[in-house]
Amino acid sequence: MQPQASITPAQAKTLKESVPVIAADGVAIANLMYGRLLGQHPELNGIFNVVHQHTGKQPKALAMALYAFANNIDDLGKLSPALELICQKHASLYLRPEYYDIVGEYLIDSMQTILDYDFTDEMREAWTAGYRLLSQTMIGREVKLYEGKDGWTDWRDFRIAKKVQESSEVTSFYLEPVESFSNGLPTFLPGQYISVRVNVPDLGKLQPRQYSLSDAPNGKYYRISVKREDGGYVSNVLHNLKHVGDVVQVAHPYGEFTFDPATEPVDAPVVFLGAGVGATALLSMLNSIAVASQTTRPVAWIHAARRTEVRPFGAHLAQLRLQLPLLRTVLFASRPGRKDALGTDYDFRGRMELARLERDGDLFLHDKRTRYFVCGPDDFMSDVSNGLKGLGVEGDRVRWEQYGDGGVERYLPGGWPTASNLQRW
């Protein structure tokens, strides 16, 4: 067992003083590190998202984490929400403890290369100690996450039992375990996701992706609903190459964006605000309310899409409106199709604007118990966040799930500095 990591006051001071350096060169350091790491350790390609490497999302996420760590070294408790998000994702990819040592070695070497003479002996010692502290903290949390997972601590084979087209872009995959679990299929909390790993012929390697579970827990199957993305390696493999009867690799459900109807007052309102395929995680929550027969709970389903043909789950929502008498649906269409009818296929033309909704009828602002669950892309999240704050809704009444890079940035204290406020150390 490794000795407990710690840093000295002098090392903490050096880390704090290196913040401008990381702000200026952190992305370059991360880019170099990932290039070297994945080139010399090809076994790690099955963990990291190739697309996020190419787009720069992964290097930027690492750079932001390093910046936030150094900037908050005197109060690391501020990083807890961000670290929880990262550890949940790491656990879903079965990131082994020994990988942290490998990453740390390449990180420090990349700092030396990029910073050159600026990377003094004091900085090397401080960042080596700091990384050891950070990695031990994350490994400890991930070990806890693995506990109580029914011994499921590695990828397992699941068979595609059914494929259902939900829209012109989204298809649902019903996944059943090839080998039964001794205590039945492990359950999950509505809103959580699973990692799915497939071989990508165009890359010649395995690639994982996280997909929200889109149905309520049922003990028989996991359902994911996948949008076919232009240039998306895994989504196109699933849509085009994987058929009923084929096998994919699946990880245990993880994620901290959750709603458990059993723990909430049965008459407390819930508002789901989603855009595009962000509807998947929200639908798992909505279905769980229906399964629990919580007919006294006011619920609003507010969703934005380009047009009806790309909006998933339309027929299912119509059935839920019959089952849940207090369910309201409001649909926005930014570019309605020629056959889309206002009042039938959608309620508002344009992007989602909270100002166009009824304050009490749609958003239940009169009830301070109302919980808001929001899921969508970056610009949508920003608009809804600002809109809810303007209406006085903040804090733990609002829960978020941002697809793409996972939304780590919003949990990092102080955010990411802009070029205008950088000062070279």
Pairing of strands 193-200, 247-250: antiparallel
Determine contact, residues 360/261, Cβ cutoff 8 Å.
no
Instruction: Assign 3-class secondary structure to 34-83.
Output: HHHHHHHCHHHHHCCCHHHHHHCHHHHHHHHHHHHHHHCCCCHHHHHHHH
CA distance 121 to 138: 26
Tokens, residue 200: 């990508």
* Spatial contact of 71 and 189, defined as CB atoms under 8 Å apart: no
Contacts by 180-184, CB closer than 8 A, 24 or more apart: 181/150, 181/152, 182/150, 183/150, 184/219
- Which candidate, 73, 71, 55, 79, places its Cα nearest to that of 23? 71
- 142 part of the active site: yes
What type of residue is 146?
Y
Identify which of 406, 296, 420 has the alpha carbon closest to the alpha carbon of residue 65. Answer: 406
Q: Distance (Å, rounded) from C-alpha 15 to C-alpha 72?
A: 9
Six-digit token pair at 379?
Answer: 């610009």
Identified catalytic residue from 142, 166, 169, 401: 142
Determine whether 221 is an active site residue: no
Catalytic residue among 100, 131, 193, 221: 100
Distance from C-alpha of 70 to C-alpha of 91, rounded to nearest angstrom: 24
Return the exposure string of 251-290: e unless at least 16 CB atoms fall within 10 Å of the residue's CB, then b: bbbbbebbbebeebeeebbbbbbbbbbbbbbbbbbbbbbb
What six digits make up the tokens of 263? Answer: 């723990």
- Sign of the alpha-carbon dihedral angle for 23, 25, 30, 33: negative
Q: How many residues does the chain have?
A: 425
Consecutive H or E run containing 344:
none
As annotated, the active-site residues are 100, 142
